[in-house]
Amino acid sequence: MERNLPIPTVFYTQKILFKTPRFSHFWGGMGLLFLFLGATSGCTTSLRQWVAQGFKVGPEYCRPAVETADHWRDHQEPGIKTDEPELSQWWTVFNDPVLVQLVESAQRENLPLRIAGLRVLEARYQLGVVRGYLGPQDQMLAGTFKRSMMSKNAMPFANFAGSGFIPMVYDDWFIGGQLAWELDFWGRFRRMIESAEANLEAEQESCRAALILLQAETAATYLQLRTVDERLALAEKNVQLQQDTLRIARARFEQGIVSELDVQQAQAALANTESMIPMLKTLRRVSENRLCTLLGMPPQDISEIVGPPGKIPAAPPEVVVGIPAELVRRRPDVRRAERLAAAQSARIGIAEAELYPHIAITGQLGYQAQNFPELFYGRSLTGIISPGFRWDILQYGRLRNAVRVEDARFRQALLGYQEAVLRACEEAEGAITAFLQEQVRVRALARATEAVEKAVQLALLQYQQGVIDFQRVLDSQRGLVQQQDALAESRGKVAANLVTIYKALGGGWQGGAGMVLAEMPASETLPPEAPSPQSEKPKAEKAPSEKTSSEKTPGPAAKPSRSEAAPAEIVPNLPEPPKP
């Protein structure tokens, strides 16, 4: 019966009635605050600039101008064209279907490229988090029940303990919501969004840079494989030639025409040439293993993918490179450096906003009653609204120096952007020069190789006729081995330098920015436990048809099983920025 007694309002302080707040007083105070801010010398953004920038403090970012050359240093060479290049699928200029298949497979299966793509998704989700700060930052729905009992021996309730006028035990039911909203008065949250957007674009450029690097490394590794194939074929051909020479020298020695010296010299030359073959086979295995890694598979025999040993793909004699100014809009690393500078510029405004008061509105709305059946009655409605501000003062220069720190970082980012442009131009210039000069070297080596081949034929014929000694034959055959190997290696360098040109020009991402990122299922997030020695069974006990999923190694044209078992998310193609 005691719970049904009326509760005086003087003690039931949690029941708060709505009353129209005098917002005119609040905004009048804010007007005085503006006048005070205008007279404060510590603010770096003027009131007029604050209004012109859309009520945001801090500097407005503008893309910095960079200096580039008007043309390439070798633009007058016959092998260089300055037209607009088509770089979306530059690897097709080699006219090698195996190379095209490898690049396309690497774009699907390469693991570092997937990691770069997931970083893009991470930055995109982080942008979504920051955008949520524009609304009420603290939102909560709560419900509570409390049963309170007053002490009969403590003031002020001891005097009323026996009167029955004031209940000493009562209940309190409450359900409602509350929020706290810091207004973006100085543009702090909008600057955070600007920074997050620039970071997202920077991660997209990083993903594109990873794609370009993957394409170039795949093509260069394949060209290295074909270069080794050609060098290995030439070495085996020279071994046959020197074996024939050894038989001739041994026959002439057995006939008593020459001494044993010719035989020993022929055997030494043959062994020296044979020693090249293991080295070249090692280089080929290294190239195969590297291709497997790029394709996202463990090292294995990839003869079914690359086919039998073949020739070096011929590089076109001319290359279209455009002009140096196009690197600024095409190279992802340059564009990333510019976006990082934009993100850092926004952080200056974030730091400067801390110099100003934080204006916020807090409120609560709900139902509160002593008895639960009366909780949702109209007279049980309760609410609070409380505008206010918080201003960090007397910080002893900490906030001001924080702005200077962000400004210094912004200046570093600007210099980093300029350095990225210079490095891009340097890399492109070096690749163009290397491509042109290596072509000159190939032509010289081709003439030398042709002359040495004729010299070998003449020397062997004259040796059989007894006109010259065996040393002339040895010298010519050694020269043939060296010249043919140098020519094959130089032809491989021409193709590799062309790949470097396309990489330096920033080509390849225009047609490959829309990548499928497969989310790995939870079962693959942790590595499997290694089986104990007792549980291991010999391979002979497994039937030929029993092949586990871990033993299946898909080719480059097939997606791994983890991609088929999980949903995919698309990183969309991004439009190219306008030309400067």
Q: What's the Rg (C-alpha) of the chain?
A: 39
> For residue 139, what are the β-bridge partners?
179
pLDDT of residue 525: 38
Comparison of pLDDT for 42 and 130, the residue scoring more: 130
What average pLDDT does this structure show over 104-129?
A: 94
Most confident of 29-38, 254-263, 434-443: 434-443
pLDDT of residue 337: 96
Is residue 129 over pLDDT 50? yes
More confident residue, 31 or 455: 455
Amino acid at 191: R
Handedness of CA 212, 217, 222, 224 (dihedral sign): positive
**Mean predicted confidence (pLDDT) in 378-405:** 89
Yes or no: say if 353 and 191 are a contact pair by the CB < 8 Å rule.
yes
Q: Count CB neighbours of 294 within 10 A.
A: 24
Contact (CB, 8 A) for 511 and 208:
no
- Average pLDDT value for residue range 161-177: 79
Task: Write down the pLDDT at residue 12.
Answer: 33
Quote the pLDDT of residue 579: 44
pLDDT tens sequence across 266-323: 999 999 999 999 999 999 999 999 999 999 999 999 999 999 999 999 999 999 898 8
- Of these ranges, 47-56, 189-198, 247-256, 362-371, the one predicted with the greatest mean pLDDT is 189-198
Q: Determine the average pLDDT of the residues in 148-168.
A: 70
Q: Is the pLDDT of residue 207 over 90?
A: yes
How do strand 319-320 and strand 80-81 relate by DSSP bridges? parallel
Q: Residue 314 has what pLDDT? A: 93
Reported as a single tens digit per residue, the pLDDT across 505-535 is 998 777 554 444 444 333 343 444 444 434 3
Q: Supply the pLDDT for residue 527.
A: 43
* CA nearest to 419, candidates 151, 67, 53, 132: 67
Amino acid, res. 294: L
Q: What is the mean predicted confidence (pLDDT) over 248-268?
A: 91
CB atoms within 10 A of CB 304: 8
| DSSP H or E run through 370 | none
- Quick: pLDDT tens for 322-349: 889 888 888 999 999 999 999 999 999 9
- The answer to which of 229-243, 269-283, 446-460, 537-551 has the lowest mean pLDDT is 537-551
Report pLDDT for 5: 36
Contact 433, 321 (CB under 8 A): no
Note the pLDDT of residue 239: 95
Lowest mean pLDDT: which of 11-25, 381-395, 482-496? 11-25
Whether the per-residue pLDDT at 454 is higher than 90: the answer is: yes
Average pLDDT, the chain: 82
Q: What is the pLDDT of residue 44?
A: 75
Whole-structure pTM value: 0.79
Cis before 156? omega within 30: yes
Instruction: Answer whether 101's CB lies under 8 Å from 556's CB.
Output: yes
What's the pLDDT tens digit per position in 531-577? 443 433 333 333 333 333 334 333 433 433 333 333 334 344 444 44
- Mean pLDDT on 104-126: 94
Residues above pLDDT 70, as percent of the chain: 78
Tokens of 396: 């002893």
